[in-house]
Amino acid sequence: MTKRGLYKLLALLFSFALIAAACGGGDDDTSAETGTETTEAAAPDDTEPPDDTAPDEVETEIAVDPDARVYGGTVTVGLEAEATGLRPWEDTCASPCMNMAITVFDKLFEIDSGFIPQPYLAESVTVNDDFTEYVVTLRSGVVFHNGVELTAQTIADMFPIQQAGAQSAGAVTSSNLADVQATGDLEVTYTLSMPNSAFLAFLTQAELGFVFEPGAAAADPDGFTFAPVGTGPFVIESRDLDNETVMVRNNDYWRTDADGMQLPYLDSIAFRPIPDEGTRLDSLLSGTVNAMQSLRQATIRDARGERDGGADITLLEFQGNNVGGGMFNVALPPFDDVRVRRGLVQLNNQEQVIEALGGTGISLPGTQWFSPDSPWWSQKVADAYPKFDFDAGVATLQEYVDDPARSDGKAVGEPIDVELSCPPDPTLIAGMAVIQQVWDASGLVNTTLTNFDQQTHIANALGAPPDFVGIHQAHCWRFSSDNDPSLDLNPALAPPSPAIAEAAGIPGVVSPINFSNWFDPEAFTAAVAAIRTDNFEERYALYETIGLRMAEEVPIWFSGHTATMIGVESNIKGVNGWILPSGELGGGFPGAEGRWAEVWVVPE
């Protein structure tokens, strides 16, 4: 019996024991002791800074599998949620959705193993000197699943749909995209309203990068979500919402592998949403599914345990820039005062939070927007980020608490009130409990924990027009991605309200998704400058400036980088090392998003 299995059996026996105990007499001392022990366990006497160098085992190296390719077979993939819609312009497409959508749609550009955009459905691109015009040449001979040929006009016809789409419209604005014209049979000209050296990164994303058949989309926008039409390696066969979506091989797919073999290798692929993490892993272990994704450290830990216990599975782990933590709403007192923010961050026992999240040995502690493996990571920023230091945190908070002019209007010496809110995920709740214990142990903070469903959690942070201040205080959040930094950072640093934009002399430049409401002119200026050059050194220096400003002002705090995993049965190959049409190695499986066109099954 594996350790995990043993835990389950013990859990059941424990339930029985609880019932027996409930029927018998009780001993009230236990809870008090437990409370003391827990507080002591969280008591901060270790002031060593967290080690954010990557242990070897936290990431699987991306490499092309040398085994011989085999045609045929079906792979069933367990996803953490259902893709509620498959309209790139309209529906939110997170990691589970991306696994499905990438089988139906191709992108104009795809990331390589260094996360640099490379042509995919596009064949080449030229850019003008000031990064306001991108001329993209498409590949010839590509057809959609409904037989319509891909031309430059297709891309131009997608644009009005994208401009009106709930998802794509935001990307159109963020990227500064003003116009898309067919300037040849296969030549598309993207015109931007302002320079953006990172525009191609938008063409690697679902919102602007996925190529869909605009005729089908316009004819039946609602129906398109159940019958999407792209140029991808698989064609949708059936869609049973919340149960199973089946895709079959696109026999007219335009791609071949490096040896000239027609892609895809699989006959079909099925996707099943299995929201419970334990059930999804059990499904892989029992063969109910052949592959699974997870974005939870605790599941990765359990999967490693099963693999080490002899389960015939391969785990493909990825540690990207996506980093967990939280943000302070700097528009509300007492978080408008940097002493409060800094003090609370100094009281964030990162290692214990990561342990509570199940990420010890899996998740790297975060100090900035980027992970240590990222080319954008900065040692200076890592050094500047406030480390866990209980005494220093207490001293910083004490300064605010003793200030007669403190912003929350409370009397001198009174503790500050903090509402710490997270979505109701068990591991997040455990992590919150650790933060609460340390904050409250300072004697200067009264922490209240709240949990809201994901949508309400986001809505609380978003707020309403005109100011979009939100009602959140200290708010769990995930930051960053493996995209170009500008995609996430620029909207997060722009003025959150018209009034702030006006005061900063940039009226009309407003970003409701600056959730922390922190606006720093120096950081924002650097963010804008970073999309006006494509020189890496210049851009690196600008993002380092932003990182240093964040470390000084601490509008957000970091726990650990989000480890993700795709687990597969050992005879499933090719998830690890897909290639670009140019023959270069692709970007692997960031965010547990697989590219299934080059996956094959070795017969048992």
Query: What residues make contact with another protein under the rule CB under 8 A?
Result: 5, 8-9, 11-12, 15-16, 18-19, 22, 78, 81-82, 84-85, 92, 166-167, 169-171, 173-174, 207, 222, 225, 240-244, 272-276, 278-280, 282-283, 285-289, 452-456, 458-460, 462, 464-466, 468, 471, 491, 512-513
CB of 223 to another protein, least distance (A): 9
Closest CA to 439 of 481, 393, 395, 494: 393
Q: ∠ at Cα 252 (293, 212), nearest 5°? A: 65
- CB closer to another protein out of 313 and 445: 313
Tokens at residue 543, please?
Answer: 């993002």
Amino acid at the residue 60: T
- CB closer to another protein out of 55 and 465: 465
CB of 515 to another protein, least distance (A): 9
CB of 150 to another protein, least distance (A): 26
CB of 251 to another protein, least distance (A): 25
- CB closer to another protein out of 443 and 466: 466
In whole angstroms, what separates CA 236 from the centre of its chain?
Answer: 26
- For β-strands 556-569 and 291-294, DSSP reports them as antiparallel
- CB closer to another protein out of 135 and 471: 471
Kindly give, in sequence order, each residue whose CB lies less than 8 Å from that of residue 323, ignoring residues fewer than 6 positions away: 366, 369, 371, 478, 479, 480, 558, 559, 560, 561, 562
Cβ neighbours of 163 (radius 10 Å): 14
Place of tokens 């400003």: 549
Tokens at residue 540, please?
Answer: 């690196």
- CB closer to another protein out of 241 and 258: 241
Taking CA atoms, 242 is separated from 77, 273, 280, 448, 535, in Å, by 13, 6, 14, 35, 46
CB of 513 to another protein, least distance (A): 5
CB of 19 to another protein, least distance (A): 4
CB of 146 to another protein, least distance (A): 20
Q: Tell me phi and psi for residue 54, to 5 degrees.
A: -75, 120
As a whole number of angstroms, the longest Cα–Cα distance in the chain is: 84
Cα(246)–Cα(239) distance, integer angstroms: 6
Looking at the DSSP bridge assignments, the partners of residue 422 are 451
- 7, with CB counted inside 10 A (0-12, 13-18, 19+), is middle
CB of 75 to another protein, least distance (A): 15
- CB closer to another protein out of 296 and 406: 296
- CB closer to another protein out of 366 and 463: 463
- CB closer to another protein out of 55 and 466: 466
Place of tokens 């699974």: 292
Long-range CB contacts (< 8 A, 24+ apart) of 38-44?
A: 38/437, 39/437, 39/441, 41/352, 42/349, 42/352, 42/434, 42/437, 42/438, 42/441, 43/390, 43/441, 44/347, 44/349, 44/388, 44/389, 44/390, 44/438, 44/441
Q: Report the helix count and the strand count for the chain, using DSSP H and E.
A: 20, 18
User: Considering Cα of 292, then 455, then 428, then 370, what sign does the dihedral take?
Assistant: positive
CB of 403 to another protein, least distance (A): 32
Cα(332)–Cα(469) distance, integer angstroms: 8
Amino acid at the residue 144: F
- CB closer to another protein out of 30 and 455: 455
- CB closer to another protein out of 153 and 288: 288
Kindly give, in sequence order, each residue whose CB lies less than 8 Å from that of residue 470, ignoring residues fewer than 6 positions away: 329, 331, 460, 461, 462, 463, 515, 517
CB of 593 to another protein, least distance (A): 18
Cα(517)–Cα(123) distance, integer angstroms: 41
CB of 165 to another protein, least distance (A): 9
Q: Is 299 helix (H, G, I), strand (E, B) or coil?
A: helix
Tokens at residue 172, please?
Answer: 């159109």
Cα(48)–Cα(361) distance, integer angstroms: 17
- CB closer to another protein out of 181 and 225: 225
CB of 209 to another protein, least distance (A): 14
- CB closer to another protein out of 154 and 516: 516
- CB closer to another protein out of 36 and 238: 238
CB of 26 to another protein, least distance (A): 16
